[in-house]
Structure 1
């Protein structure tokens, strides 16, 4: 993880407290822990190796990247007989790593080595920097760190995590006040969240927020990082804390960009999700009824719009006060969304699998309600018949 703790006692240091080893920059809360780590923690054997590897932060990033690539390759499916679309080899010529495919590509498309994806992103972004191609080109090329160039969908799961570490290890040495290390930290936090390492993701995101505030980051960037921190708290079950943050972030985006901006719509989605986690169904449904028409007008039937519609359907069938009409609407909405997402993203995508589960739950709730209604009618008819006899 980003080195924000004492390497011996693990006390939190943030980004600025404590002291560092003069040779390799390993961080400690004080001299006592540094001495103990040298004597008892094995630092005497690792210090020169860490320095040779670029210092503590770079050494740690390289190590974590190697581990993440191994996990991604081990988790990959259907790679037998396939080759990397970048280097055309089955095994990477240097690292000997296997293939991965963590996007929406299907058939024989999209297989690659994480190392090849990372190297391609690194080269393309470096060209944009060296040739001063402008912000638009820089942003487009930066997306290669997290988006497949073939299907144009974000990487997910273990591949997203491995590419997050690849991006961080590539830019960890840049000046701390530059935007690139911050963007790499944000990507790493997202990758860690993709594999449910939410405590680690929270640590990265809080470190990035502290960096932004220290160097006077833009308000929109700070709002985005606070939103990500709220997401981490929610994943960790800290729903009240997440809701407070999400409410503040949503209000901040409305003031900054207005109600029809893409980031405002994303903030509304996250705020509604926080409300659902606390079973505040009416508030969540009210917010989605107001926001979904705007999203469809501004974003079309994008992934974000589909997620918002799925959340609204979930609020409909999860609400204990749901009517049969609510359950039918939830079921038909999810059926429509499931067809669309499957066509666009493929059956293996996490969003498709989530919507499939939601659809099964909605159908189950509707079946239970309608079966109960039929049984009630039968009982009523039986009572009337018995009374007539």
Structure 2
């Protein structure tokens, strides 16, 4: 997590809480600061200061931990390979191993996290230096989370390592700097991708508070609220998630319109929370997704990750409903089979989205089996439809 808690007692802190004059470690008050000094901060203070002060030092340390975790998780896949950027097996400076957390297959996509981070940093710096427009800045910023070869987002612990890489690169920028807000967003996304949801919650809350302090636009505030709602959902805090997602969906629809990708994202998020809330909200979720999925297929295409996620959530709303009919179960199975084939073709068999479809299909097939009588199974085998 980022440093939003007192270093001595772990109590939540205001953004302007008192801090150590040398290394900028923050505390509730002078009592906590003196206590922390006696318990070991005296020995660490100079080291933290030399490392760029508290927030930078902490980000650098967490980055090293995240890279080590990602390299270990990818070790079997990367054995005997080389980095597509520096062409080496071990990074020349950090001596870190390789990772691959995108949709590349075969011998493609193996890389060092440090190489990805350095490339993204250079590309964005060039855009800033040359005063490129917002579209160019956004395009280059995508290198912090998207593979330049397969054009798909990184996932899991690799995404987490890149999140820390991004945050440690821009943490020293002023709060109002263009790069700092998306950097904290990248960190939150990375922590969530690695299932570090409690840490992600602290980041999401800090992101929203920062945007409110600097007077960010309504659209930017909605993005931060959406991120926070997603983390509530990940933590099974579904009541809070559905309330916030409903407001975000309504606000985004008003600003961006029905065909906007942002509106489709929020529609899918809202529907996902409805499915997890209680059985009475299944019909609302199904109705919303029946309206939005055709829009997504028309504007984004059948192979887009968001379109596939919407279909996955729709199938879940069908077969998880206590009042589901046989037609509902069959539609869920058919939807998961079709969308699952697309996910495997686009993302590969080991991608988390493909695995979600495979698990969902197994559950839907089991639910269908449990609700089909032996007579219907025999009739289906003979090609006879039972009404």
- The normalised TM-score by structure 1 is 0.94
What's the secondary structure of 2:77's corresponding residue? coil
The equivalent of 1:314 in structure 2 is 316
User: What is the count of residue pairs matched by the alignment?
Assistant: 375
Tell me whether 1:12 sits opposite 2:12 in the alignment. yes
The equivalent of 2:175 in structure 1 is 176
What's the secondary structure of 1:286's corresponding residue? helix
The equivalent of 2:352 in structure 1 is 350
The equivalent of 1:2 in structure 2 is 2
Tell me whether 1:81 sits opposite 2:80 in the alignment. yes
What is the alpha-carbon distance in structure 1 between the residues aligned to residue 192 and residue 329 of structure 2?
31
The equivalent of 2:214 in structure 1 is 215
Candidates 272, 282, 304, aligned match of 2:306: 304
What is the alpha-carbon distance in structure 1 between the residues aligned to residue 378 and residue 307 of structure 2?
39
Candidates 367, 370, 373, aligned match of 2:369: 367
Q: Which runs of 5+ in 2 are unaligned?
A: 380-387
What is the alpha-carbon distance in structure 1 between the residues aligned to residue 246 and residue 11 of structure 2?
31
Candidates 300, 320, 328, aligned match of 1:326: 328
The equivalent of 1:56 in structure 2 is 54
How is 1:62-211 mapped onto 2 (pairs within 5 angstroms)?
62-76=60-74, 77-211=76-210
CA deviations 1:179-233 (Å, max 9, x no partner) are 2111000000000001111111111111111111111101111101101101111
What is the alpha-carbon distance in structure 2 between the residues aligned to residue 303 and residue 225 of structure 1?
21
What's the secondary structure of 1:28's corresponding residue? coil
What is the alpha-carbon distance in structure 1 between the residues aligned to residue 341 and residue 247 of structure 2?
35
What is the alpha-carbon distance in structure 2 between the residues aligned to residue 138 and residue 260 of structure 1?
23
| Deviation >6 Å, runs of 4+ | none
What's the secondary structure of 2:3's corresponding residue? coil
What is the alpha-carbon distance in structure 1 between the residues aligned to residue 143 and residue 95 of structure 2?
23
What is the alpha-carbon distance in structure 2 between the residues aligned to residue 68 and residue 116 of structure 1?
15
Deviates more, 1:123-132 or 1:99-108: 123-132
The equivalent of 2:263 in structure 1 is 264
What is the alpha-carbon distance in structure 2 between the residues aligned to residue 299 and residue 63 of structure 1?
39
- Shift of the alpha carbon at 1:376? 12
What is the alpha-carbon distance in structure 2 between the residues aligned to residue 228 and residue 14 of structure 1?
21
Return the index of the structure with the highest Cα Rg.
Answer: 1
CA deviations 1:160-180 (Å, max 9, x no partner) are 000000000001111111121
What is the alpha-carbon distance in structure 1 between the residues aligned to residue 355 and residue 117 of structure 2?
27
- Shift of the alpha carbon at 1:293? 1.2
What is the alpha-carbon distance in structure 2 between the residues aligned to residue 146 and residue 345 of structure 1?
15
RMSD value, Cα: 1.3
What is the alpha-carbon distance in structure 2 between the residues aligned to residue 60 and residue 34 of structure 1?
18
CA deviations 1:277-326 (Å, max 9, x no partner) are 01321111011111111111221211111110111111111111111111
The equivalent of 1:383 in structure 2 is none
